[in-house]
Amino acid sequence: MASPPPPLPPLLHHHHHHASLLSATHLTRRSFLLSTSLSTATLSAKPTAAAAPLADTTITDRVFMDISLCATAFRSDRTLGDTLPSPLCTDPVLLGRLVLGLYGHLVPVTVSNFKAMCTSSAYKNTLVHKIFPGQYFLAGKQGRRDKGEVVVRPPLGLARNTETVDANAFKLTHSRAGVVSLCLSENDDEDEIKLDPDYRNVEFLITTGPGPCPELDSKNIVFGAVLEGLDVVTAIASIPTYKPGERIRQLNDLAEFLGDERAQNARTTWNRPLRTVYISDCGELKVTKPSLTPSLP
Highest mean pLDDT among 45-49, 73-77, 122-126, 256-260: 122-126
Per-domain boundaries in the chain: 61-239+275-285, 241-273
pTM: 0.73
Q: 287: pLDDT confidence band, cut at 50, 70 and 90?
A: confident
Q: In this predicted structure, what is the pLDDT of residue 267?
A: 60
Q: In this predicted structure, what is the pLDDT of residue 20?
A: 45
Q: In this predicted structure, what is the pLDDT of residue 176?
A: 96
**Distance between CA atoms of 188 and 130, rounded to whole angstroms?**
10
Q: 89: pLDDT confidence band, cut at 50, 70 and 90?
A: confident
Query: In terms of Cα–Cα distance, which of 233, 42, 56 is closest to 128?
Result: 233
What would the pLDDT profile of 95-127 be if each residue is shown by its tens digit? 999 999 999 999 999 999 999 999 999 999 999
What is the per-residue DSSP string for the chain?
-PPPPPPPPPHHHHHHHHHHHHHHHHHHHHHHHHHHHHHHHHHHHS-SSPPPPPP---B-EEEEEEEEEETT---TTS-TT--SSS-SSSSEEEEEEEEEEE-TTT-HHHHHHHHHHHHTTTTTTEEEEEEETTTEEEE--BS-GGGT-B---GGG-PPP-GGGG-GGGG-S---STTEEEE-STT----HHHHTSTT-----EEEE--SS--GGGTTTSEEEEEEEE-HHHHHHHHTS-B----HHHHHHHHHHHHTT-THHHHHHTTTT-BSSEEEEEEEEEE--SSSSB--S--
Could you tell me whether strands 61-70 and 276-285 are parallel, antiparallel, or unpaired per DSSP bridges?
antiparallel
Find out whether 55 and 171 touch, Cβ atoms under 8 Å. Answer: yes
Find out whether 117 and 200 touch, Cβ atoms under 8 Å. Answer: no
> Between residues 249 and 75, which one has the greater pLDDT?
249
Res. 224: pLDDT tops 90: yes
> Between residues 229 and 55, which one has the greater pLDDT?
229
Res. 42: pLDDT tops 80: no
Average pLDDT over residues 15-30: 44
> Between residues 246 and 126, which one has the greater pLDDT?
126
Res. 46: pLDDT tops 70: no
- Alpha carbon separation from 99 to 46, 217, 219, 239, 278 (Å, rounded): 44, 23, 24, 20, 15
What would the pLDDT profile of 252-264 be if each residue is shown by its tens digit? 676 666 676 665 6
Find out whether 142 and 149 touch, Cβ atoms under 8 Å. Answer: yes
> Between residues 287 and 292, which one has the greater pLDDT?
287
Q: In this predicted structure, what is the pLDDT of residue 286?
A: 86
Q: In this predicted structure, what is the pLDDT of residue 86?
A: 43
Q: Which of 32-36, 112-116, 147-151, 192-196 has the lowest mean pLDDT?
A: 32-36
What is the number of other CB atoms lying within 10 angstroms of the CB of residue 198?
9
Find out whether 224 and 102 touch, Cβ atoms under 8 Å. Answer: yes
Q: What percent of the chain has pLDDT over 70?
A: 64
Q: In this predicted structure, what is the pLDDT of residue 250?
A: 66
What is the number of other CB atoms lying within 10 angstroms of the CB of residue 263?
16
Find out whether 138 and 268 touch, Cβ atoms under 8 Å. Answer: no
CATH number of 61-239+275-285: 2.40.100.10
What is the biggest distance separating any 2 CA atoms in the chain, rounded to whole angstroms?
A: 144
**Distance between CA atoms of 189 and 130, rounded to whole angstroms?**
12
∠ CA 209-213-216, nearest 5°, is 135
Query: In terms of Cα–Cα distance, which of 98, 100, 116, 102 is closest to 56?
Result: 102
To the nearest whole number, what is the mean pLDDT of the chain?
A: 79
Q: What percent of the chain has pLDDT over 90?
A: 55
